[in-house]
Structure 1
Amino acid sequence: MGMGIGHRLHGDGRAFITVMILTLGGGLFLLKDRKGVHLYMGILLNIFGTLIMMLANSWVSFMMSPSGVDQKGAFIGTAIDALLNPLWIPLAMHRMMGNIAFGGFIAGAYAAVKFIGAKTDEERAHYDWMGYISNFVGIAGLLPLPFAGYYFGREVYSNSAVMGNNMMGGDFSWTFIMQAMLVGSLFLISNYYLWSGMGRIPGAERYRGYIKFLLAIIVISFAIWLTPHNLPLTGEEVGQMGGSQYHPTLKYLGLMPAKNAVVNFIILSTFFSFLLYKRGNKGKTIPVSQQGRTPKIVLSIIGLLCLWLVGQYAVYLYGLDPKELDLPPDRAGYFRTVGTLLFINCAAIIIAIALTLKDKGIIAQYLYIGVTGFNVTLFLGVYGFVVMEKASPFLRNIAVSQFTQLISCLILVTTIDSFLFKNAESMGEMKWGKMSIRSQYALLVLCIVITLNMGLMGFIRSGLRTDWHIYGVLKDASEWAYTPSNYTMTQMVGSAAIVFLVTGDLLLRGRI
């Protein structure tokens, strides 16, 4: 009880707080002029808003994972003990990513409404630019959101296996199918907006041929992500399927190895779409070897970061004792297989950086995206089924290895791209305002879908406690205590979304 807050925070908590402190301190360098002061005020606003969110999160997360409580359910800790409960930081990370995406898509909807109602080319150009920036912010929050969600879910399971099983394989399994539908729609529609935006970029027609392949990947992956493991069948239908609720083939697509693989594929495809969009009007480039020492320094630092991110987990897997996962010693071979795959990814990082410094940056990007895509989707997607059968507890470690490789890919490829097209010749100015009306309705749909998704996830988070006010400590023994059905949830969340959107529209029009 005598330790300070910093000592009692988990590593994720210290990292989260450190990022906010560094952002706060780094923003001081902006205080050079009036614009810098304005930007720093925005940073302060976001930091204090995040702290307020974290304070509110602590109440909710304490109800899910109470700390400072003895075996009899009596609270014997302090307010700090209650604050630093196991799910506090994981929930904060998940909600922060969700709120970034939510804010971006809400602003995008505002821009879309103003674009549709614009009377002049200048207005359309302005709100087109605003819609683009808003969609970029939304995607920036959306890409890491599945990882934050998985991390939060893993911590829920670690804190209570009963709650974790109920989340994905029990009462809320079909709720998560609805959640997958909403999140998949966000990725699909945001990609559509990016593809539509290529029409305003001179030179982007070079990349239109990729769109049909990206669309196929996203749609097929989306379909797999939506596939349930068990089907809601009548007795007659169960008889026709041989007495089982599981489809003989499609049942495998409802398991976590398949879903983890395709969600990584969707994220990688969305990232690739953004790369194409970003380089749309870039012409002749300046070789990286002619850009001085900066690329060498930055790529070396980023490379070391990525090597540490992937390599440290590879080392961990090689040294992981099967006993820690309640597995027999002969299962260590599965750990080393995944560890070897991570070391291969490390080799790809080194080769990609070397190729970039040798002015082969495009090849480097395709190489590393290809290696990462193969590792996290094809190999680990299939190997996950083997692990599920032979060493099921290790499946969570496979998901972490997928995450580390994908994050490394996003970081390194983005860095390479920034130098690859630095000061490149422009093939023409961006034609702001030259967007179709359909693209603006896509922004509106993104706003609606993200609003529904926020409500649905709030229901899941609170509903996981079932009939407990404070899970495992204070039970709701009243006769009217129950967890609403999905039918009731959709009515309530849908109604709340309608009220929110209608109120926002009235505010936008100045009616209230």
Structure 2
Amino acid sequence: KNEEERAHYDWVCYVAMFICIFGLIPLPFAGYWLMKEVYAFRQQMGITLMGGIMAWLFIIQAVMIGLLFFAANSYLHNGMARVKGSHRYMKYCKYMILLLICCFTMWMTPHTIVMTPAELKVMGGAQHPIVGHFGVMSAKNTAVNLMITTTILCFLLYQKANKKITVPWATVGNCWISAIFVGAAVNIIFLGVYGYFLPANVRVGLSVPQVTTTLTTLFAGTAINISMFKDSESYGDIQWGTQSKVGTYAIFLLAISFTWLMGLMGYIRSAVRLFWHVTEVVRDNSVDAYTLTIGEAGKMLSFNTLFVWTQFVVVFWVGSLTGKKVAEKAPDAVPVPAQQQQ
């Protein structure tokens, strides 16, 4: 309603955004770890998830994760507009968005999906002769690690947007950061391509050096970037409260996508048991032992997301009722004691 409140909530979104980014970066790694444990326990469960009746749910999951990365980068790009001196790095934003689009397309490409016999006949098999090559884990690991690396680069540029680096080794530091990111991209792509020439059981192990490369880029790049801020000069204060509408939409998209994705993965984790209470131990023989269709699952997840955010709105609204302070009106005149009036 006023500039002070807009500036305050803009700053709140800024803090929440960086918390989300640090929570987003390890999210794919945690997913790979979970699937590794699932395959180690029972391969059939992994096949059911990745190539069976739940394959389309994992495609939806890939789309949601892509939305998270797009929302995070969109917020950072639009947030640069309120930072003086950010014009130096705005020219790189379009290339980062292009790279995200390419990686996102590869990330959401399925390997095999459930199809009718007629569809199988038209395509010539369960795997597309061209697009199917982008559905294997070598391509997907490469895509998601490049998306994370791009987000890290965007974060570092946002960090130094309003700072004029004055340390003597500024040029060397920038060269080191550039070399780290270029080397990381080359290594991630090389390992992804190399994985196509290895058996599937060996190819899985390549995700470890790719993840190590990404994490090294995160920690080394951030450490060098922060070290360069010593005795730096500021181009000006951040203009809080001037966030664009696109940046505001991005922060809401990030929050909604996170909530929806949490519900989706919770449903997948539960539904992979199929008709078992405890997998292969206690069977569910009730009439309700069935798996929801994709449409039914989507409706339930959307309802749960709406219900959660409605609760948040109600809680904050109730809190605002007790938090409002009424300004006390100063008396028009100071009362004079009776002794002084005589």
Superposition TM-score, scaled by structure 2 size: 0.89
Out of 241, 244, 247, the residue aligned to residue 433 of structure 1 is 241
In 2, Cα distance between equivalents of 1:238 and 1:172: 18
**What is residue 223 of structure 2 aligned with on the other side?**
415
Provide, for residues 162-192 of structure 1, a one-character-per-residue CA deviation record: whole Å limited to 9, x for no partner: 2222222222221110000001001001110
Displacement of 1:503 after TM fit? 2.4
Whose helix fraction is larger, Structure 1's or Structure 2's?
A: 1
**What is residue 11 of structure 2 aligned with on the other side?**
129
What does 1:47-126 align with in structure 2 at a 5 Å threshold?
119-126=1-8
**What is residue 363 of structure 1 aligned with on the other side?**
175
Provide, for residues 453-494 of structure 1, a one-character-per-residue CA deviation record: whole Å limited to 9, x for no partner: 010000111112222211222121223312222222111111
**What is residue 304 of structure 1 aligned with on the other side?**
none
Out of 166, 170, 182, the residue aligned to residue 52 of structure 2 is 170
Q: Which residue identity does 1:284 align to in structure 2? A: I
Contact 1:126/1:432 (<8 A) preserved: yes
**What is residue 275 of structure 1 aligned with on the other side?**
156
CA 1:155 to 1:375, structure 2 compared with 1: closer, same or farther past 3 Å? Answer: same
CA 1:451 to 1:128, structure 2 compared with 1: closer, same or farther past 3 Å? Answer: same
In 2, Cα distance between equivalents of 1:423 and 1:164: 53
For residue 478 of structure 1, give the secondary structure of its aligned residue in structure 2: coil
Aligned residues: 320
What does 1:129-148 align with in structure 2 at a 5 Å threshold?
129-148=11-30
**Unmatched 5+ residue regions in structure 1?**
1-118, 289-355
Displacement of 1:236 after TM fit? 4.8
In 2, Cα distance between equivalents of 1:505 and 1:142: 24
Report the identity percentage: 38
CA RMSD of aligned residues (A): 1.8
Out of 253, 265, 276, the residue aligned to residue 445 of structure 1 is 253
Q: Which residue identity does 2:93 align to in structure 1? A: I
CA 1:259 to 1:395, structure 2 compared with 1: closer, same or farther past 3 Å? Answer: same
Contact 1:194/1:274 (<8 A) preserved: yes
Q: Which residue identity does 2:317 align to in structure 1? A: R
1:465 and 2:303 matched: no
Out of 303, 315, 322, the residue aligned to residue 507 of structure 1 is 315
Q: Which residue identity does 1:383 align to in structure 2? A: Y
1:374 and 2:256 matched: no
Provide, for residues 193-240 of structure 1, a one-character-per-residue CA deviation record: whole Å limited to 9, x for no partner: 000000011000110110010000001111111111235555554444
**What is residue 181 of structure 1 aligned with on the other side?**
63
What does 1:259-298 align with in structure 2 at a 5 Å threshold?
259-287=140-168
Query: Which 4+ stretches in 1 moved above 6 angstroms?
Result: none
Out of 29, 33, 45, the residue aligned to residue 151 of structure 1 is 33
In 2, Cα distance between equivalents of 1:405 and 1:441: 32
Q: Which residue identity does 1:434 align to in structure 2? A: T
Contact 2:10/2:240 (<8 A) preserved: yes
**What is residue 160 of structure 1 aligned with on the other side?**
42
Displacement of 1:373 after TM fit? 1.1
In 1, Cα distance between equivalents of 2:280 and 2:121: 40
**What is residue 283 of structure 2 aligned with on the other side?**
475
Contact 1:372/1:409 (<8 A) preserved: yes
Displacement of 1:496 after TM fit? 0.9
Contact 1:287/1:420 (<8 A) preserved: no
Higher relative contact order (CA 8 A, sep 6+): 2
Q: Which residue identity does 1:380 align to in structure 2? A: L
What does 1:222-371 align with in structure 2 at a 5 Å threshold?
222-231=104-113, 235-241=117-123, 243-287=124-168, 360-371=172-183
Superposition TM-score, scaled by structure 1 size: 0.60
**What is residue 94 of structure 2 aligned with on the other side?**
212
Displacement of 1:124 after TM fit? 1.0
**Unmatched 5+ residue regions in structure 2?**
322-342
Bigger radius of gyration among the two: 2
Q: Which residue identity does 1:159 align to in structure 2? A: F
1:385 and 2:212 matched: no
In 2, Cα distance between equivalents of 1:140 and 1:284: 25
Q: Which residue identity does 1:367 align to in structure 2? A: A
**What is residue 84 of structure 2 aligned with on the other side?**
202
**What is residue 45 of structure 1 aligned with on the other side?**
none
CA 1:434 to 1:480, structure 2 compared with 1: closer, same or farther past 3 Å? Answer: closer
